[in-house]
């Protein structure tokens, strides 16, 4: 097989037709209203609230600032239990709030925080659980909720990958105290940069909105030490024109995912995330796991060989957050406490997955994978 003549990246952002965006921009030019709770933001919030089926939503300039705001709004402090198998933003937001992340091992199948291992990490300093719906696959939300109630802890979900995920027709943003969504260009729905917080509590929503805007209540009252987390009008306008395209993008990705799965079902040593009953998937990522003993080559081998074919797969998530130089000294970072996380971080590979990837390109990628096995 010949290498691809152009690089095949892990993802390509969904782009709206330029004329639709410029039409929106014309409205903004006329209004001369560029930020601070403008009409584009207000109307986009309503639309996304409906799509995510959540009672309250606040849009942000990115997911990381949204997550920081969630942590502040719940007054988390001391220690918060989280997963090492995530993007740096998850534990780093805790650190920015002077909170020590406590890394808990993950489930060997779902790759999400293992609820059975949460409680042994709880002590007097613990104030919350920050769990991640990894690759859009939901955490065990009922069990996490029970643990939180039993121990008077708050729950924040990093749902950066979770756009439109539902459990039993309930939007994923309804679980825990607050959920954070990312609208980074690598995400299914995106706004260039952007994010959101969702919650059920009206009073908490008010606090989130205050914190998002420096804590300013009105011209003469500043009530909280807030930050600038506002999504501006230009970005909100982009969201308006992109949102209607998500369904078609998902359809295209579904075809690719079906093709990948068909091949992988016949590749010993390679597995993918199985659909979970009653969970609506979103086709955010396509992540495989490579068992080197059965497959005959390691994940790193495949990653490196793919490169020679101009295919840019991604070791996602590798390394674990607990291996970062500034976290590895933590007692909870001891690899002995995190056996599943360590094994999985060495097995995972995110394959190129986006609507513009043609079926023949996808077929070439997955045939190459098959040819590399025993």
Ligand X SMILES: Cc1ncc(COP(=O)(O)O)c(C=O)c1O
- Can you give the binding site for ligand X, defined by CB under 6 A? 62-64, 86-87, 89-90, 132, 158, 160, 182, 184, 195
Distance of closest approach, residue 269 Cβ to ligand X, in angstroms: 27
On whether the CB atoms of residues 102 and 80 are closer than 8 A, the answer is yes
CA–CA–CA angle 139, 140, 146 (5° rounding): 130
Distance of closest approach, residue 89 Cβ to ligand X, in angstroms: 4
Two structure tokens written together for 280: 């609506």
89 vs 270, beta carbon nearer ligand X: 89
3-class DSSP state for residue 61? coil
How far apart CA 87 and CA 186 sit, in angstroms, is 13
The residue of the chain with the least Cβ separation from ligand X equals 63
Which one of 72, 187, 205, 230 is the catalytic residue? 187
Identify whether 187 is a catalytic site residue: yes
**DSSP one-letter code for 84:** S
Distance of closest approach, residue 203 Cβ to ligand X, in angstroms: 25
Q: Which strands make up the sheet holding 170-171, listed edge to edge?
A: 170-171, 166-167, 279-280
157 vs 306, beta carbon nearer ligand X: 157
93 vs 270, beta carbon nearer ligand X: 93
How far apart CA 273 and CA 261 sit, in angstroms, is 10
CA distances from 186 to 30, 60, 129, 309, 353 (A): 31, 16, 26, 22, 10
Distance of closest approach, residue 172 Cβ to ligand X, in angstroms: 13
144 vs 366, beta carbon nearer ligand X: 144
288 vs 321, beta carbon nearer ligand X: 321
On whether the CB atoms of residues 253 and 93 are closer than 8 A, the answer is no
Distance of closest approach, residue 175 Cβ to ligand X, in angstroms: 16
Distance of closest approach, residue 250 Cβ to ligand X, in angstroms: 18
- φ, ψ at 199 (rounded to 5°): -155, 170
DSSP string, 173-202: GGSSSEEEEE--TTSSS--SS-EEEEES-H
On whether the CB atoms of residues 62 and 193 are closer than 8 A, the answer is yes
Measured in whole angstroms, the distance separating CA 6 from the mean position of its chain's CA atoms is 28
How far apart CA 316 and CA 69 sit, in angstroms, is 26
63 vs 176, beta carbon nearer ligand X: 63
List, by residue number, the catalytic residues. 187
């Amino acid at each position: 097989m010949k290498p691809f003549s152009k690089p095949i990246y892990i993802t390509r952002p969904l782009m709206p037709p330029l004329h639709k965006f410029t039409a929106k921009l014309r409205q903004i030019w006329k209004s001369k209203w560029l930020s601070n709770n403008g009409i584009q933001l207000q109307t986009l919030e309503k639309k996304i609230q409906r799509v995510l089926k959540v009672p309250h939503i606040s849009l942000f300039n990115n997911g990381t600032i949204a997550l920081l705001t969630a942590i502040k709004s719940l007054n988390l402090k001391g220690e918060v239990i989280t997963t090492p198998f995530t993007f740096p933003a998850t534990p780093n937001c805790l650190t920015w709030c002077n909170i020590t992340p406590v890394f808990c091992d993950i489930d060997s199948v779902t790759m999400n925080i293992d609820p059975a291992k949460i409680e042994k990490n709880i002590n007097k300093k613990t104030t919350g659980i920050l769990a991640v719906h990894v690759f859009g696959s939901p955490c065990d939300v009922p069990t996490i909720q029970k643990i939180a109630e039993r121990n008077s802890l708050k729950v924040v979900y990093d749902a950066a990958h979770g756009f439109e995920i539902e459990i039993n027709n309930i939007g994923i943003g309804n679980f825990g105290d607050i959920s954070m969504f990312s609208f980074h260009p690598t995400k299914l729905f995106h706004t260039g940069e952007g994010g959101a917080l969702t919650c059920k509590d009206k009073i908490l929503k008010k606090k989130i909105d205050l914190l998002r805007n420096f804590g300013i209540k009105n011209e003469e009252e500043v009530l909280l030490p807030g930050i600038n987390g506002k999504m501006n009008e230009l970005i909100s306008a982009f969201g308006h024109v992109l949102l209607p395209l998500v369904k078609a993008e998902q359809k295209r990705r579904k075809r690719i995912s079906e093709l990948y799965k068909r091949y992988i079902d016949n590749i010993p040593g390679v597995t993918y995330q199985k659909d979970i009953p009653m969970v609506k998937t979103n086709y955010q990522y396509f992540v495989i796991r490579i068992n080197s003993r059965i497959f005959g080559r390691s994940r790193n081998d495949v990653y490196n060989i793919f490169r020679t074919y101009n295919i840019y797969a991604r070791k996602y998530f590798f390394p674990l957050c607990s291996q970062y130089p500034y976290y590895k000294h933590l007692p909870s970072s001891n690899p002995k406490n995190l056996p599943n996380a360590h094994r999985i971080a060495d097995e995972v590979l995110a394959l190129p997955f986006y609507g513009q990837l043609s079926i023949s390109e996808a077929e070439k990628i997955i045939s190459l994978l098959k040819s590399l096995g025993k």
